[in-house]
A and B are shown apart, each in its own frame.
Chain A
Amino acid sequence: MSVTATYPTAALDLDTDVLVLGGGPAGTWAALSAARAGARVVLADKGFCGTSGATAPSGTGVWYVPPDAERRQAAYLSRDALGGHLADRRWSMRVLELTHASIELLAERGYPFPHDDRGAPAHGSLQGPEYMRLMRKLVKGAGVRVLDHSPALELLVDGDGAAAGARGVRRQRGDDWVVRAGAVVIATGGCAFLSRALGCNVLTGDGLLMAAELGAAFSGMEFSNAYAISPAFASVTKTLLYKWATFTEPGGEPIPGAASQGGRSVIARWLAKGPVYAQLDKAEPSLRESMREAQPNFFVPFDRVGIDPFTQRFPVTLRLEGTVRGTGGLRIVGDDCATTVPGLFAAGDAATRELICGGFTGGGSHNAAWAISSGQWAGAGAADHGRRVRAGAGTTRVAAAAGTVALREGRAAAFSPEAVIRQVQDEVFPFETNYFRSGDKLGDSLGRLDGLWASLRTADAASRDEAVRAREAAAMTAVARWMYRSALARTETRGMHRREDHPQADPAQLHHVLSGGLDEVWTTPSSPLTRPQAELAA
């Protein structure tokens, strides 16, 4: 491609203080807080802000804890050991505080919270469709310009290496957009590798690739192998109600040790051999209506195929949710959720959540709280940075396109996104590589993924029609490489990262694994975490 592509112009060309990429909870809270801080804000989503992303169709329990020191300490400690002691107490308390206040705000703005059996408002759960419909309304009400069906393809970078906006396509109009911005928030969610887990097929790690192209670093990418239970035929990876399930082998015998919580790996081992069935037979009849009321989406697949999950067995599977309900993501280096790249901020699943979950999933509560809190910090940080940059530089600032694979001229023919996607899935879906890890399997897989990346690197730019899919394929390839390189570096078992060849936690590895790089993927340990005894007491 020519110089015009590197200094892009587009059908829609905007100039703003803050550009938010992604319109899930993290992106919408970021946009709100940036607007509240007085910044001009544009939000671009690949899909539709309000229905797109993991939360909208799924709904989330929220880490909502009233301001009571003992209860908050208990909340912090509840996942500390599961997370391999990698979480940070100060960050956990900040998140609990801001999440609590934000849920109160949602109540004020009209979220229809129910009342519990004593008549008190119940604030611990958000129904996805309701929540995200409200977030869209609040964002629009705050004057944010929302671009739907406008996937970002690449970031723009200024002369000093700082983030200066992004470029993408408007896929329903067949043209493109450029937004020049003083700061950018990456809120594009995690990477679930197109596994068809609920709401997750828009989540292919695009923002992680774009950030890495500016040199951003990651943390905790080894904690990226969250698998969620769903009926074998369906997308609904809602897992809470499996607490009341018995898991059985085809003959109907209960599988020893199989459980949704604390026995999911047993399910994985059996699924590797054959079908596994579930039935919610431990749910008292009196609880069944509450389950329907709490999670209407859970029952949609069953009602549609005519299965009564309380009285009938149904086949289940595990779908990879990667970093969506895993934990790794862009490394955060400030209280404002700044990344290692100037002008670039990260929030929600795109940012590392180790600060509050350590190496364990944040499913059920922490993830939603993290999106709400990190979103607002990133939005405020970006507003501050963006307005300062724009006041200084005016309109003369350089903004060059920073994308690589699938966007620039190459020596070989353009690659087939579908073929690359299948190749990556073959490396990351299998339990024997990703769930139960070992040095030799990870190494082999990484070798193939590195080779795949090298071939993408030499390929020509994708056609306009295929650009989005090609970038998704490239991002999935890149994410898989940061994942497995980090998984190789952590030669122990900690949090959700299980090494069959290193089954114990190693006290000498109480650190984060940082990673990054495109052609050469690197990892390095953070400095060791010190853990004052005071935070372990109580």
Chain B
Amino acid sequence: MTPGYVDDIISDIKSFPSMSDAALKVLKLVDDPKSTASEIEEILRYEPSITANILKLTNSAYFGVPTKVASIRQAIVLLGWEKLGKLVMTTCVNAVLDKPVRGYDLSPGELWQHSIAVSVAAELLVKELNIDADNEIFTAALLHDLGKLVLGDYVKEDFSAIRTAAGEGTPFQAAERRVLGTDHAEVGGRLLELWSFPESLVRAVRWHHEPDSAEEPGAIIDLIHVADVLCLMIGLGAGTEGLQYKPSPAATKRLGLKPRQLELVASQTLQWANELGGIFQGNR
């Protein structure tokens, strides 16, 4: 086996186009309690497509505000900082994740649909389990498979070797690692590190298939792990590798999750994921 690809993959990570400057600026502002609505308005003034998408999301049932919102200022007032941050993130991530992903055989929009579904499922789990999770979980879930965009070309190249390695009972990301020297979760984690995302978010992405391997397990990691497997099971974004992943019994135990709760969340996820995922469809 030649894990000699790792250098190539790392240089691909470094040259991967970052998210738009405006998006990163707004996210910083949202994180800073001292910032004001005018500052955010000022940045978005020059970003009509981001603004339009933020308003579309604001008016969606998922983020649900009672009145029809027509301006960013109004959106900020009605949603509050925390939700606004999610909306900005969703808008910016859509542009990155909406592409087809080679190697995993995801057609245009499928990775986006999967990512938004995992965000929705993770938040539904938080509600169902009554966990006190911070709002980072939505963003972490949105970005959990980002690494597939970089690793896809390598997976395609070596697909038969990876499939052989995956054989009976070996999880797909472990097979990626065996053949390529790294896996899409690690690549995604490195990308986010490079973009200076908070460490807890980087960890959640890094360990989303192997929550027990994280130095310190955490609710965000476990929730994204469970939400991800669940979405694959209900047909949201299962690529060529299908359900070739292994859910961690320790993670569900840490969360205190019951089979009944998992099924309940499954029954609620599809509708929200379709609603949120479809909002940008007209843009494509």
A, B bound:
no
Chain B interfacial positions (CB closer than 8 Å to A): none
Chain A interfacial positions (CB closer than 8 Å to B): none
